[in-house]
Structure 1
């Protein structure tokens, strides 16, 4: 069996994260035509359509979503195995950091890079995962620390939790004629929506927001794994989505969305095990993040 190259798989994972050829090609630092051709060669090699393309944009097929989940995990484990080879390890073991996939935390990636630049010997392995998979990895000691929304359905009693900020969710619809004031859940529910994938905890939490305000079932037009893909879909179609305001601002978006009334806000936490052998390193990183967000002890 002919196998794909590591570069093809890495770029496929990049596409799976962003759900848009232009954004993914920029992240991979190659032209869009070269990126698209590489994805087509990958599909020809595996013999399955992984990406659905149309005039309205593109998205992963069901087979593509399954392949993305497995390949992202395999590549992460490969990089971990490489880093642990004798002679490659630095003075300190890297922290394995999990970031909630539906959070799209651009800021956290920047914080990690800045921390590494200004703390000699610091290194990280970063994984973007769905929240329940991330908690399972934390339980299995495959992750040292995770950044997530604190959702009521999660059971985190056995972990140490450090608050570092509030995430405000907003209604994003750049091609819609949005009102100048905040919108109600009834207003949002009356419009077609792009939503998080049904198996994601964020999907259940947002749906609970609507049902708790006696809204009718939402007409979901498309489901996505990441806020990057939802944002790009909204930019190409007349549809709205509920997305983190901090994520939109980090992507350079200052308009095209409005507040929700009542607001939909989620506290953000860093979660880790107190008995982790890297606890001292974790504490240094946690203190740094709290200073970034101006959280006093």
Structure 2
């Protein structure tokens, strides 16, 4: 892989195609860092210093310094700068095309060998839809640290932030619900769970094991805020009746909604997976609903992510785990 980098740099310096059988490997005193190359790839996609620096999560001056250093190492101008903005030069376009083919393989190989040799844990940054509850990730964190040498960092986010964070590389995987027919662009999606929605109302007397939609409409409902993605998804359930429930409270997380219902005479629609994780069983304050309502839970990720091997391992694990739970 390192030899490929040498060939690439020699190619850029000479601005011509390489004859791999005759050309000797070009030796240089210094190679660009992985970080510099990754940030150049970010710029290559966006071609805007401010946006690229923001996506790289560094200051614009630090980002610009890295690009200048990369140009000095290569000995060519990669980015044309002017008062009107910036763009890739001809050499920059060529370098971007070649490095896009090589760098993901190089980084993935590094991650793979670090993981195999136990030198370093591969960090997977996982964003979880706030309304799904990040508590569900606890056993996954423990399992992967003990068995696969993968460090999992969990973030709780709203839907739009999850998508943005995946696209700018701040997280590697997102666990979320999706709207019907939602277009994801360059993101891959994997269905891993059909989440059953249940009615949680420990202070409301309910006969039987199921609660009808009309019965729910008789009592105040704890909900998410109006602009919350989960609120919009759950509102679809009541749209079938052509009525809206009386709002008891609008709260930002499933934990807040759960605690509110424990302390007040109000109900809430919550995923069964989440409420079971809190130690509540059927008949202990939550009930099935009639008609039933299921929401599809997906894992979102990018195939070109250099951590793809670890992502695939995590995805397969979660699929099998949910199949066993069923």
TM-score range for the pair, normalised by the shorter chain length: 0.5 to 0.7
Partner of 1:229: 256
**C-alpha deviation, 1:220, in angstroms:** 0.6
Residue of structure 2 in register with 1:161 after alignment: 189
SS of corresponding position for 1:252? coil
Does structure 1 residue 218 correspond to structure 2 residue 207?
A: no
CA change 1:199–1:153 in 2 (3 A) is farther
- Measured after TM superposition, the shift of residue 266 of structure 1 is 0.9
The whole-number CA distance in structure 1 between the counterparts of 2:279 and 2:160 is: 29
Q: Do the aligned residues in 1 keep the contact of 2:137 with 2:154 (CA within 8 Å)?
A: no
Unaligned ranges ≥5, structure 1: 1-76, 78-89
> Does the 8 Å CA contact 2:192/2:319 hold for their aligned counterparts?
yes
- Show the 5 A alignment for 1:107-186: 107-120=136-149, 122-152=150-180, 154-186=182-214
Q: RMSD value over aligned CA atoms? A: 1.9
Residue among 196, 200, 214 paired with 2:228: 200
Q: Deviations over 1:126-156 (max 9, x none)?
A: 1001112111111111110011123327432
CA distance in 1, matches of 2:291, 2:269: 14
Further displaced range: 124-133 or 105-114: 105-114
Q: Given the alignment, which residue of 75, 88, 91 partners 2:120? A: 91
Cα pair 1:163 1:267 within 8 Å, conserved: yes
Deviations 1:210-231 (A, max 9, x none): 01x1232221111111111111
Question: Which has the larger Rg?
Answer: 2
SS of the residue 2:235 aligns to: helix
C-alpha displacement at 1:106, in angstroms?
2.4
Over 4 Å off, 4+ runs: none
Aligned to 1:27: none
Structure 2: distance between partners of 1:116 and 1:177:
44
**What corresponds to 1:294 in structure 2?**
323
Instruction: Report SS of the residue matched to 1:260.
Output: strand
Q: Assess if the C-alpha contact under 8 Å between 2:222 and 2:249 holds in 1.
A: yes
Distance (whole Å) between structure 2 residues aligned to residue 215 and residue 185 of structure 1: 11
Alpha-carbon distance in 1 for matches of 2:268, 2:184: 28
SS of structure 2 residue aligned to 1:102: helix
- What TM-score do you get using the length of structure 1 for normalisation? 0.65
Query: Within 2, Cα distance between the matches of 1:199 and 1:102?
Result: 13
How many aligned residue pairs are there? Answer: 206
Secondary structure of 2:196's partner? strand
Superposed displacement of residue 92, structure 1? 4.3
Higher relative contact order (CA 8 A, sep 6+): 1
Q: Structure 2 unaligned segments of length 5 or more: list them.
A: 1-56, 58-118
Question: Mapping of 1:261-272 within 5 angstroms?
Answer: 261-272=290-301
